[in-house]
Amino acid sequence: MESNEQPKLGTNINYFVITAIFIVMLIYSVGNAIEPNVDSELDAFEAILTAGFGAAAIFAFIVAKRYWGSKIFGRAYLSLAIAYASYFVGWVLWFVYEIGYQVENPYPYYPDIFYFAFYPFAIYHLRTNIRYFKPKLSSHQKTTIIWIPIGATIVYAFFGLVPFETPQGIASVVFQPIPEYDFDFYKEYLAGIAFVFFTTWVFSYAVVGSQVFRGTMLGNAWGLLLVGFALNTFGDVRYYFFELFGIFDRSDIATPLWVAGTIVVCYALYKHRDV
């Protein structure tokens, strides 16, 4: 039988693991920036990126299996597994077109269907856990869930549409008249608005989840989960902004952020399994 009572013991975080993740990502970032980016070839950096989302899906499936007798948590962690599996399929499909068929992936394109599928499944996972342990959120927590995605989307929508220059810093920002963009720009612009809203919505739920589980047996695991989602979200937002202006490639810092995010999520799920 499931219980609303939150356990009070915690599971320790191994900071050697955290340090190792940081070192690996530093090495990955340097190598990723130096290695030539050839769109028609699959290199080790892109393979690691894809494998990271697949690994997170596997870890989530393992946790879901342990909760299989629970209608609530079994479904919640299965949903998280499907979320990361969707992202993995998206990357695989992207490489099938880019490398297998030598077709340049426009944006948005078929792989983006699977990238976008990550968000509703991840939100279902987070929302289900939060509502089970805390059915009534505080006004501050409700505000967090609502205004983080709205605020981030407004910022993206404004700076993505209105060109600006910062010759000497933030204080000297000069905004330019809005040019006459073509259809392809607005297609990417509107897709970016949807992606930015949902990726920051996932992040806002992770923030509240870490607050709900703080001080419980799952506190550290949810703290790690928050860090993992935060890294992925920052990578997503950076990607959708830079891709809008055609200045994104694999050597961008967003790539190691995605990889680091999936590794941290794997570690969070591993610690959750230990509870």
- For the stretch 198-241, pLDDT in tens is 999 999 999 999 999 988 888 898 999 999 999 999 999 999 98
Between CA 211 and CA 261 the distance in angstroms is 19
Between CA 187 and CA 141 the distance in angstroms is 33
Does any domain span residue 209?
Answer: yes
pLDDT band at 9 (very low <50, low <70, confident <90, very high): very low
Mean pLDDT of the chain: 87
CB contact set of 244 (below 8 Å; sequence gap of 6+): 160, 185, 188, 189, 192
pLDDT value of position 192: 94
Which of the residue ranges 39-48, 65-74, 135-144, 161-170 has the most confident prediction, judged by mean pLDDT? Answer: 135-144
Percent of the chain with pLDDT over 90: 55
Does any domain span residue 74?
Answer: yes
pLDDT band at 131 (very low <50, low <70, confident <90, very high): very high
pLDDT value of position 259: 94
Taking the CA atoms of 156, 162, 165 and 171 in sequence, report the sign of the dihedral they define. negative
SS3 state of residue 115: helix
- N residues, the chain: 275
Does any domain span residue 5?
Answer: no
pLDDT over 80 (residue 123): yes
pLDDT band at 7 (very low <50, low <70, confident <90, very high): very low
**Residue 16, Ramachandran bin (φ over 0: left; ψ between -120 and 50: alpha; else beta):** alpha
Q: Are strands 164-165 and 174-175 parallel, antiparallel or unpaired?
A: antiparallel
pLDDT band at 10 (very low <50, low <70, confident <90, very high): low
pLDDT value of position 147: 96
pLDDT band at 11 (very low <50, low <70, confident <90, very high): low
Between CA 124 and CA 270 the distance in angstroms is 20
Does any domain span residue 9?
Answer: no
Q: Residue for token digits 């989302």? A: 53
Does any domain span residue 2?
Answer: no
Tokens at residue 48, please? Answer: 């690691």
Q: Residue for token digits 């930015």? A: 196
Between CA 76 and CA 205 the distance in angstroms is 14
Q: What domain count does the chain have?
A: 1
In this prediction the pTM is 0.87
Does any domain span residue 88?
Answer: yes
Q: Residue for token digits 């920002």? A: 173
CB contact set of 137 (below 8 Å; sequence gap of 6+): 130, 145, 208
Low-confidence winner among 71-85, 123-137, 157-171 (lowest mean pLDDT): 157-171
Does any domain span residue 93?
Answer: yes
Domain of residue 51: give its range.
15-274
Q: Torsion over CA of 101, 233, 10 and 14, rounded to 10 degrees?
A: 60
pLDDT value of position 8: 45
